[in-house]
Every structure is written in C-alpha cells, then in structure tokens.
Chains A and B, each alone.
Chain A
C-alpha cells in the first residue's frame, strides 16, 4: 500500500518538474507515433473531414470568420439490466450516435465563448443540444447532419460574439484578461472499433439471484441491483488538424438498498463497482458477500440511534475522504472557475502558499489505470479538447501549485494540462480525473483511531466520529452565497474516548467551509480507499475517481440531515409465495 503511494508521489514530482514547453514537444512526438494508424475507411471520420473541409472553404468568405471548428461524435451503445426482488425489472439495449459542434469566431484572445457578464449571459432557447446522427448511415446521411449542425453552430457563434463585444465595452475591465482559447498541436490517434459483448442471460441470472438475497431481509424496504454496460466510441475532429478516435468501455454494477426507520428516516446504502472490462467486476461470490454485508449493515442502521449536532474530532475513511476532496477541493481547482467573475475563486490567492498540512500531496492523474489494487474510472488517453491526458500535481507538501486546465487559459496558467472534459451535449471545461491524495506520513487505521480517542480526551469530548461511507456531497462556489459544503454520510460510528466499542449512528451530514476544514487535517492512515463514480457539473457527467487514505480531522461539524416525515408502511408486508411465472 505504502509502496504504491510512494510511487505515485515520485511520479507526481517528476511531472511537476516538466516545463510546459517540454510537454508540448513530447506531445508532438506522440502525434507522429500514432499518425499512421488513422483508418481512412471509417465512415464517420470521412464524413467529418469532408464536411469540415467544405465548411472551412465557405468560412473563408464570411464575416466574422471562424478561426476554429471542432466536431465531437459520441457513438454510444448501452446495455442495461436491473433486478428487484428476484425478478428482472428492466432489460434494455440502445444505441445512439450524437454530434456536437463548436465554432469559434473572433480570435484566440477574444471569441464567442467569452464569459458574458450580467444578464447578457442568459440566453433563452440557445442551449447546446446534440444532433442525432444515423449510427449505420452512409457518408451522405452523416454529412447532412454535420452540415446542418455546423450552420446552426456558426450562426449561434456570430450572435454570441456580437454580445461579447458589446458586453466587454459596457462592463468594467475584467480581473483575468487571459485569452479565451489556446492553440494546440494537431493530434492524430485512431483505435479500431470494438464490439460490445455482454452475456445478458448470464448476468440476468446473477442479478435475479442477488436481488432475491437483498429482498429476503425484512429490514429492506426497497432494493435493486443493476448492471449498466456502455461502449462509447468518441470521435474528435478539429480544424487544427486533430483527429482522435477512442473507445471507452465502462461496466457499472450497483447495489442499492433502502430501509425506513420508525421515525420516518430513509436509510439508503449503496455499493458500486466500476470497470473497463467485464473481468474487472467482482465475482458472484464476492458480490454475494457484499450483498449480505450491506443487508446486515442496513438492519443495524435501522435501529441505530440518531446523532445530534456535534463539533469535534473525526476520521474520514479513505473513500469518504476521497469524496470530500473531490467535492470540496477538486471543484475549486477546476481552472475555468477562476475566470468566472461570479465565482468566489477561493484558491486563486493560494497559489504557492500552504493550503494543507505539509504531509499531503494532491494529484490528478488520468494516465493512471489502477490505484491501491482498484481500477480507476477517471482514466483517459486524450481529453475532450484533443490534449493528451497529463498527471497534474495540484498540491505538493501542502502547498497549492496547480489548477486543472482545459484549453481556456487563466492568469499564470497559460496551457491546458489535459483536463478539458465533457459529455455529449455540452462544451468542455476543466474537470477532475483521478484524484489521489498522497500522505507522506501515515499510520495504520487502528492507530488513527487511537489518535482520535486521544484528541477527544484532550478536548474533553466523550466521543469522536468515524465516517465510514459517504453518498456524496455538494459545495457552493458562487460569490452570492456562503462558500459552505455539505457531505452526506451513509455510515457513521461514534468512537468513544474511553475505548468502549464503536457505536453505529445515523441522521447527520457534515458541513463546513473549505479553507478552515483543510487546515484541520492532522493525520492520515496507511490504508487507501478508492471511490469510483460519475461526476456531474457544467460540462455534463464524466467518470472520475477519488483515492485517499483515511484522514483525522481535528474539528468537524455535523448537522441533522433532512428527514422524511412519512411513516413506514401501515400494513405489514404481504405474505410472499414463491411462484415464478415470468413472461
């Protein structure tokens, strides 16, 4: 475990030493290495190139002249299966091919994507919408859609550019005067198509069996187990000469159970598994063990006492700390926010300054595929702006160093570091990848608990808290509201100062403000937790990971969570008979 952490740390340090110019040279070398593999028989690539060429010629004669055009095609194949109570609830397959177009008019320095300040930024009926493309159509059928989409994108760009020019003239000088976009050397990379293969009969049988096990417990009011298999084939073609075609398979398995306590509180528990290939998912026996464990935990949780408001020392488990960092720190280092005049830009003044205790590094590494023995969700080869994925050391020995950058530069950070990401239907902005918290000084988790007990005794608290699992959280980054965060734990234990056995409790969220909480981290465990998930923000949903050791925080505040006022069911469950008659 420590070896892996050290490896990360060394690698991270080496990335930090690279200068931007060197990085660009390395990228050019990669370009040459992969150029020959581009498949000229790919209909989608051909259609994109042909239409791009036609439009580039046409754009030469219009005013304003576009200086950049990008096409993204998302060819998505999905297989979805879910089971409840031993029966298949849904079984569906779908395939869609979607086109997004970006046309930039003006110049790299100032273009139509520039932030509009005030109410000019509100545009009714001009939201980005993907265009449906035939997934088996010939070149002409594809080109017809590309033609229409480009025409609409250009007109929308012209309209917005006019607004940008006026908006700039009537508003005060901007705090950050960096360019709207940066050029990037052309990239050429091509992966041949893959087949989506899933034995749905086999998986249906497994899901039925596992969901029967879930439903067998009287504590469980609701349960579902689902498998979502996706093969996303992504195309990016730009007027700079970039053509990138990649395959992104993703297998997601989720167990969801829900109970209701007598006081009305809804108690959910989740287990999610994510892998790039079927072999990366747990075995049936392993899943069965998890199902049984989660049901047992839910039964305990249903009868657990409710915790009142509290402020004192606490431990965040590795997974909980990972999510905490993703929500509270990660979203604040997404570079585009620093340009947004409505954003609080919390970390802007901290570049080069101590933000965390010196024993912590925070790294974002989309080039890493596994960490602590777990496959990571936030890995990719190129970001959605055609920039190769790069490891970014954001915090080194507690000092804040780097923002995550797309091709929209900010003051002091003129280049992308390969984190411009998006979902179909959105435009790329800087987003997180695989977040890794690296601690240079660690202790076993048991020792961390001992520290917690000692801290409780020192501060006169009868107990501290251990946040074992967490559902997610949210944070506000706007200037108009307090920059607080809320994290929603699922499993919390009281850890008593006197060494009494830990007690499971329920009913609290932990809250705080980022800077104060960062400075309260005092120790970390050897054990690493990995959280894989899908992060939703301005540019849509993207897969991410968050990895961290467990962290001891000297003071953390919890508040009562929102609670359902609805009673549990009035009647007992109906008598069940085993009589499977399926259509």
Chain B
C-alpha cells in the first residue's frame, strides 16, 4: 500500500471554479419576479474505486474506475420558510416532466479543468434553481389552506468556516494483489460440498470531497472506505435456504484483518454453514430469555435501536403533513426512559479505534461542513439527545454534525454500562439465563450469536439463493447462528429462527451485559429515506456493544414453504458422485 502525501493538483482550480460559479449564481440567478436563491451549496466528489468479486477461486468481476460527481443544493424563500422540507411526490417519481439537467449526483468528466467544471456547475445550478422555485410555489400553495401548527424554521444559517480533513493520504490499492488473495480465500469453499454458493466481494472506495456554500463555509475532506464481504449459501435437506456471512469494513486496507485471518474467517463461514445444514430446525415459537452474543448483540442494536436515535422531521406534502413511519419511536421521548437504567449510549464519531479494532465510520467533518462532537444520547436509560443534521426539527434546531449520506445518520455508537454489577462474564450470563429458565419452568433458552445484516441480505444473500431466502415479516431479524441451551447446560445448534424484538422496548428488558465490547462496522440502511434525500441507500456505521441478556424475547420458527433441494449433488461433492 502506498499513499498520496498531498492533494491532487486539480483541487485548487476545482475549488476556484466552485467559488466563482457560486458567486455568479448568488449574484445573478433569477427568473423574472420570482425569488432569488438565498443559499447555494456545491458538493464535488472524486472517487477512485476498485472492486472484485470472486467465487470458488475464479473471478466474477474485477475493475478499477475513477469518477467525478457534483451535487447542487439551492434554497429559495427564507430560512423561516423555503423550498425544503416538502415532499413533492410527483417531482420525485416523474421529475419535472421535462428533460432537465441533473443536479444531484451529476456525473461530470473525470478529467477536470476550471472551464469544464464551471460549465457543469452552470447547468446543474440552473436546473436546481428552477426546481427549487417550483417546489417553493407548491409548498406555499399547500400552506395557503393549512393552519400551520409547526412553526419550526426550514433552516438555521451558520457562520463561515473553512475546514480540512486531508492529513491522511488518499489510499490506493494493488487490485491484482487483492484479487490473488481473494482467489485463495474463496477457493477454501471448494472443499465443502454442502456449500452451494460462496462469494468474496471486495470494494475500495476512497473519495475526495470538496464543499462550498454561500455562507462562506467550505471543507475538503478525504473519505475512505473499504469492505470485504463473504457470503455463503446452502440448503438443508428439508429445503430450508441457509446462509452464513462475514463482513469487515474499514477506512483503509490496513484496517482489515490480515489475509491469513480472512482465510480463517472463510473457513469458519463454510464450516458454520455446513453445521447449520445438519442442525435441527426450530419448530416451536419461543418466548423467554435470550442471550445475544457478539455480532448478534451489535446487529440487534444497529437494526432496532440505533436508527431511532436520529432526529427526523415529517415533511409537508401536497396532502398536508405526512407523518414518518420509519424509525420515529423516540422522536418525542427526550427525557423518557428508553432502555434499562444501567445502560447508556454515546455517539463518538471522532473515535478512530475502539480497543484494538479500527472504527470504519469515524469522521471529523460531516457532509454539511459541521464538526461533530461526542454526545451522550442515552444516559442511564434516559434519552437525552438525538443526532441531527441542518434540517431543524421541533426538538432540535441546530445540527450536531451528523449529516452523512444525504441526511442525519447514526455514526459511531457505544452501548455501555458503568454498573459493574450488571457486567457479567460469559459463563455468568449463561448461568443467569439458566436461573430464569428454571424460575419460569422453561425447558430451554437460546443463545443467538449471529444475525443477518440487512445490507448483506438484500445485496448478496437474496440473490445467491435465487430470491428464496426467508426474510420473515416486518421487524423480524433472521438469526444465522442459534444455540439451544437446556436447563442442564447442554447446548445444540439449531437453524431457522427469526428474532422478533417487538421494538426498542427489548432494550428495556436487558437485565445484564457482557464485560467486553464487540465492535461492529457495518453498512447500515440510511435512516432518512434515500428517495427523499437523494443520498446513499447504505451508510457506513459502527456500533460497539456488549453481549446482551434479554429477560424476555421472542424467537419464531420459519413458517414459509421451502424450495425443494437440488436434484443432483454439487459437482464439488466427490463423495456424492461415488
């Protein structure tokens, strides 16, 4: 690995072009008697991407590209009421009906010059302004017939600032070397005939971001992201589709585990899948204590609780205010108890390492040019803060620097306790669970060690199983590694269970936690819908959680019908052939 000690030479002309076109647009852009922009922002992104996908030692896809994109944000009206915070469904789904220029994530030439960029900015700004003016008119028309009860402003101006996060070099990667390693990792699956598909995917996506706005705020930052995902699938003899996954993310390749360690991870994935295949299926619904260990505790927190910590604003629509229904359970709960009283949640986006593990989601400047500070979100069970962008909400007017991927998003979250009495060693957690089983006269309980990540489910598992992988219903989390633990301490692996958390309240039922923290870097679904924000569907995040013993949780068997197993054994099954 080698890095760039300094920024590319085109950064300065690009920034100058952005400043010059912004100044010209603020000064001159107008349509007849309609209002001029009061705020413009430009975000320029230059990405060096490298990707590879390998299966059973052979390459499915591999390549390197460079691309440049531009996004323009324009506000017309005033900070009290402007064109934003209005959900224009018609414009979202059908555009303006005209062949307008693109102004969000507009692809521009990757060879940059002052002149080329000025022209691109000119066309994108023009389109963004026309859309903004029309959107404000629609919004004002709707408000004419509404008694507006929510007087939260649409924007809060900020002072000028120039920020830089460019100390770390833009990383480069030797893709040939990576592909060679991926071949070796993926070839391990060839020795496991129970495995139907096994892919190893690598993506390296460093990005240089240059931002300017009309308040005089600007930044240049290097955003670094790398990921490696292993996804293996199979089918049990009763037809149940099975999957096992492993994913690691970091900021540079150096943040990933060593190649030897990744080979061991692959070995573990295919062995675990093979074990899963021969494990008995869960047949009865279960309600009782569940111990969530390691990755499962972190995924449970990431999927069920973390998204609720993001401040959201219900946008106005042509039918009036449209209430959000995703991840809004805690919007009005500041001051209320939302989890067990010995638990706290902190947001620490500046932490680059937790224990020995590098933090993939760490950052110094958010997408709107705000430097985030650490925040205690939940203190001893009570909600204190929500994470916000520059979109003011009823409770939170100012940004705390959490705008990422198109809107406010959770970042680096620590779930922890200071109460040593609640921190137990693993054996103590199991013992505590057995006590509950005995008290409730339950024959067995469950330990869940792995829950399927949503990104991996929708981008790989679903495709590799031909769309047959059972996803359960709304709010159900497919558990990939489940152990049944009997009252006498015997354990057995089972398969086909869905965790049904029943909302954030499951965290009120946590009665004890482990002593260590599992640091889980993941690609998390954007909390603010990308349909509204125009941003990314998945954003890198990090959650660090201890093992969680929940007093009463639900685990349901799969009730779906399964596809029949293959008619023939795999060609890799040499024993089967004989």
CA of A468 to CA of B574, assembled, Å: 65
Does B57 sit within 8 A of A, measured CB to CB?
A: yes
Known: A135-B59, A570-B29. A564 touches B99 (CB 8 A): yes
Chain A residue contacts of B112, Cβ below 8 A: 87, 581-583
**Is the pair A580, B567 in contact by a Cβ cutoff of 8 Å?**
no
**Is the pair A564, B190 in contact by a Cβ cutoff of 8 Å?**
no
CA of A328 to CA of B181, assembled, Å: 54
Question: Pick the contact of A136 from B58, B118, B123 — CB < 8 Å?
Answer: B58
Q: Mark A172-202, 1 if CB is under 8 A from B, else 0.
A: 0000000000000000000000000000000
Majority SS at the chain B contact face: mixed
Chain A residue contacts of B564, Cβ below 8 A: 155
Does A446 sit within 8 A of B, measured CB to CB?
A: no
Known: A85-B115, A93-B63, A583-B111. A574 touches B99 (CB 8 A): no
Question: Pick the contact of B58 from A86, A138, A564, A583 — CB < 8 Å?
Answer: A138
Q: Which of A474-508 contact B (CB under 8 A)?
A: none
Does A133 sit within 8 A of B, measured CB to CB?
A: yes
Chain B residue contacts of A64, Cβ below 8 A: none
CA of A579 to CA of B130, assembled, Å: 30
- Pick from B20-28, B154-162, B212-220, B254-262 the stretch touching chain A: B20-28
Instruction: Please give the distance in Å from A240's CB to the nearest CB on chain B.
Output: 21
**Is the pair B10, A583 in contact by a Cβ cutoff of 8 Å?**
yes
CA of A222 to CA of B106, assembled, Å: 14
Question: Pick the contact of A582 from B10, B29, B190 — CB < 8 Å?
Answer: B10
CA of A95 to CA of B61, assembled, Å: 7
Chain B residue contacts of A215, Cβ below 8 A: 119
CA of A582 to CA of B160, assembled, Å: 30
Please give me the residue from chain B that is nearest to A62 by CB atom.
B567
Q: Which of B253-290 contact A (CB under 8 A)?
A: none
Q: Mark B1-38, 1 if CB is under 8 A from A, else 0.
A: 00000001110010000001100110011110000000
**Is the pair B21, A581 in contact by a Cβ cutoff of 8 Å?**
no
**Is the pair B571, A583 in contact by a Cβ cutoff of 8 Å?**
no
Instruction: Please give the distance in Å from A237's CB to the nearest CB on chain B.
Output: 16
Question: Pick the contact of B190 from A140, A565, A575 — CB < 8 Å?
Answer: A140
Chain A residue contacts of B489, Cβ below 8 A: none
Question: Pick the contact of B113 from A51, A90, A573, A579 — CB < 8 Å?
Answer: A579
**Is the pair B97, A87 in contact by a Cβ cutoff of 8 Å?**
no
Chain B residue contacts of A169, Cβ below 8 A: none
**Is the pair A83, B109 in contact by a Cβ cutoff of 8 Å?**
yes
- Pick from A141-149, A339-347, A383-391, A529-537 the stretch touching chain B: A141-149
**Is the pair B119, A573 in contact by a Cβ cutoff of 8 Å?**
yes
Chain A residue contacts of B563, Cβ below 8 A: 155
Please give me the residue from chain B that is nearest to A55 by CB atom.
B568
Instruction: Please give the distance in Å from B360's CB to the nearest CB on chain A.
Output: 25
**Is the pair A85, B109 in contact by a Cβ cutoff of 8 Å?**
yes
Does A19 sit within 8 A of B, measured CB to CB?
A: no
Q: Which of A77-106 contact B (CB under 8 A)?
A: 83-97
Question: Pick the contact of A140 from B97, B126, B572 — CB < 8 Å?
Answer: B572
**Is the pair A132, B571 in contact by a Cβ cutoff of 8 Å?**
no
Please give me the residue from chain B that is nearest to A50 by CB atom.
B571
Please give me the residue from chain B that is nearest to A265 by CB atom.
B99
Q: Mark B548-568, 1 if CB is under 8 A from A, else 0.
A: 000000000000000110111
**Is the pair A567, B97 in contact by a Cβ cutoff of 8 Å?**
no
Q: Which of A418-461 contact B (CB under 8 A)?
A: none
Q: Which of A556-574 contact B (CB under 8 A)?
A: 564-567, 569-571, 573-574
Chain B residue contacts of A41, Cβ below 8 A: none
CA of A142 to CA of B572, assembled, Å: 11
Does B108 sit within 8 A of A, measured CB to CB?
A: yes
Most B-side CB within 10 Å, residue of A138, A141, A579: A141
**Is the pair B61, A132 in contact by a Cβ cutoff of 8 Å?**
yes
Chain B residue contacts of A273, Cβ below 8 A: none
Q: Which of B73-116 contact A (CB under 8 A)?
A: 96-100, 107-116
Does B332 sit within 8 A of A, measured CB to CB?
A: no
Q: Which of A122-139 contact B (CB under 8 A)?
A: 125, 132-138
Does B570 sit within 8 A of A, measured CB to CB?
A: yes
**Is the pair B63, A94 in contact by a Cβ cutoff of 8 Å?**
yes
Does B512 sit within 8 A of A, measured CB to CB?
A: no
Does A578 sit within 8 A of B, measured CB to CB?
A: yes
Q: Mark A535-550, 1 if CB is under 8 A from B, else 0.
A: 0000000000000000
**Is the pair A576, B98 in contact by a Cβ cutoff of 8 Å?**
no
**Is the pair A84, B109 in contact by a Cβ cutoff of 8 Å?**
yes
Q: Mark A140-169, 1 if CB is under 8 A from B, else 0.
A: 111111111001101100000000000000
**Is the pair A583, B46 in contact by a Cβ cutoff of 8 Å?**
yes
Chain A residue contacts of B58, Cβ below 8 A: 133-138, 141-142
Does A239 sit within 8 A of B, measured CB to CB?
A: no
Does B197 sit within 8 A of A, measured CB to CB?
A: yes
Does A266 sit within 8 A of B, measured CB to CB?
A: yes
CA of A440 to CA of B404, assembled, Å: 68
Known: A567-B130, A582-B113, A583-B46. A576 touches B567 (CB 8 A): no
Chain B residue contacts of A85, Cβ below 8 A: 109, 115-116, 119
Please give me the residue from chain B that is nearest to A80 by CB atom.
B65
CA of A141 to CA of B97, assembled, Å: 48
In this complex, the interface size class of chain A, counting residues with CB under 8 Å from chain B, is 35 or more
Chain A residue contacts of B100, Cβ below 8 A: 564, 566
**Is the pair B571, A96 in contact by a Cβ cutoff of 8 Å?**
no
**Is the pair A151, B99 in contact by a Cβ cutoff of 8 Å?**
no
Known: A83-B109, A148-B197. A570 touches B114 (CB 8 A): no
Instruction: Please give the distance in Å from B7's CB to the nearest CB on chain A.
Output: 10
Chain A residue contacts of B13, Cβ below 8 A: 579, 581
Most B-side CB within 10 Å, residue of A134, A135, A138: A134
Q: Which of B380-437 contact A (CB under 8 A)?
A: none
CA of A208 to CA of B20, assembled, Å: 25
Instruction: Please give the distance in Å from B406's CB to the nearest CB on chain A.
Output: 23
Q: Mark B114-149, 1 if CB is under 8 A from A, else 0.
A: 111011011100100110000000000000000000
**Is the pair A137, B55 in contact by a Cβ cutoff of 8 Å?**
yes
**Is the pair B118, A576 in contact by a Cβ cutoff of 8 Å?**
yes
Known: A83-B109, A134-B54, A564-B99. A148 touches B60 (CB 8 A): no
Question: Pick the contact of B66 from A137, A221, A579, A583 — CB < 8 Å?
Answer: A583
Q: Which of A245-298 contact B (CB under 8 A)?
A: 264, 266
Chain A residue contacts of B28, Cβ below 8 A: 571
Chain A residue contacts of B96, Cβ below 8 A: 566
Please give me the residue from chain B that is nearest to A568 by CB atom.
B126
Does A54 sit within 8 A of B, measured CB to CB?
A: yes
**Is the pair A577, B61 in contact by a Cβ cutoff of 8 Å?**
no
**Is the pair B10, A151 in contact by a Cβ cutoff of 8 Å?**
no
Instruction: Please give the distance in Å from B236's CB to the nearest CB on chain A.
Output: 15
Known: A85-B109, A579-B113, A580-B113. A136 touches B59 (CB 8 A): yes
Does A3 sit within 8 A of B, measured CB to CB?
A: no
Does B475 sit within 8 A of A, measured CB to CB?
A: no
CA of A570 to CA of B53, assembled, Å: 46
Please give me the residue from chain A that is nearest to B179 by CB atom.
A136
**Is the pair B59, A565 in contact by a Cβ cutoff of 8 Å?**
no
CA of A90 to CA of B65, assembled, Å: 8
Please give me the residue from chain B that is nearest to A89 by CB atom.
B109
Known: A89-B111, A573-B119. 19 other contacts (CB 8 A): A54-B571, A86-B116, A88-B109, A88-B111, A89-B110, A95-B63, A96-B60, A132-B55, A134-B56, A134-B58, A135-B59, A144-B196, A151-B566, A151-B567, A222-B123, A567-B31, A571-B122, A574-B24, A577-B115
Q: 9 A-B residue contacts at CB 8 Å?
A: A50-B571, A85-B115, A87-B112, A93-B63, A95-B63, A133-B58, A137-B56, A571-B24, A577-B114
Chain B positions near chain A (C-beta within 8 angstroms): 8-10, 13, 20-21, 24-25, 28-31, 46, 53-63, 65-67, 96-100, 107-116, 118-119, 121-123, 126, 129-130, 190, 196-197, 466-467, 563-564, 566-568, 570-572
Chain A positions near chain B (C-beta within 8 angstroms): 50-51, 54-55, 58, 62, 83-97, 125, 132-138, 140-148, 151-152, 154-155, 208, 215, 221-222, 264, 266, 564-567, 569-571, 573-583
Going nearest first, the 7 A-B pairs with the smallest beta carbon separation are A137-B58, A134-B58, A87-B111, A87-B109, A576-B115, A566-B98, A141-B56
